[in-house]
Amino acid sequence: MSGVDAALLRRLRAEGRAVVGFSIYDLEQGIGVVRAAEAEQLPVLLQAGSSAFRYAGREPLAQLALALAREAAVPVGVHLDHATDPAEVDACLRLGYTSVMFDGSALPFGENVRLTRAVVASAHRAGAWVEAELAGIAGDEDESSEASAGALTDPAVAARFVAETGVDALAVAVGNVHGIPAAPVALDLERLERIAQAVGVPLVLHGASGLPDAEVQAAIALGVAKLNVNTELRRALRGALLALAADPPAGDGIAALLGGAIEATRQAARDKLLAFTAEGPTIAATAG
């Protein structure tokens, strides 16, 4: 089965829909996400990214995700999330990643443009699409920290950045944070609408885990075509492991020990897929 390409991303935006990118750290999470996608017959992204490499190693985790994608009965893309080193991007492209995110948000604008443009050229030669970031998104993607929103994406600067780099998708900061926010988040939908009109490419919303479904659905209606989810999967896995410790099964069979982690991940992924990508009426955004 083919992966999630740039054409699908553009079509999803045109239809007011989105694909979910789930960050994974191990085999159990990967299996759970793919099973959820197959059951709902929906495309999905396995995000085996830079921070997860520190846990599992780049090539082992990458090859695991790529194998799951090849065997899936629905389109599954393998995405490099939050790469800050072009060499890491090139390594993942050689392995067969179908999309990459270069995060130059901590760099001066000109340097971000220069490096992102080079990543776009490399990725497009490899048949992959590129997501980039302009204004950094607050919070820690690997911890459910109580973050507060930081700087917001400027629509005019975003338009210039997209035009100068040729990226296929842009991650936006419109009040969203990585992890679970310290206080309830209200997305700046008016700003999001202006960004969408200015840049013309599909937008990406990081930190979808900590947002009410209605907020996310409103963002999708305004041009967000990719959503990142991490916290719910980590919490599902943690909950399954703690339950196992409290009431361990008899024997030491691995399937009995880890099956609950897979099932918990599958259910968490399914909940997000149904909330954000299933067929149904679109919740209209009330921007302005």
* CA distances in angstroms from 126 to 39, 95, 137, 166, listed in the order given: 30, 10, 28, 15
Q: What is the SS3 assignment for 46? A: strand
Query: Are 49 and 85 contacting, i.e. CB atoms less than 8 angstroms apart?
Result: no
How would you write 113-164 as a 3-class SS string?
HHHHHHHHHHHHHCCCEEEEECCCCCCCCCCCCCECCCCCCCHHHHHHHHHH
Burial per residue of 182-191, b for 16 or more beta-carbon CB atoms within 10 angstroms, e otherwise: eeebebbbeb
Task: List the catalytic residues.
Answer: 81
Residue 66 amino acid letter? L
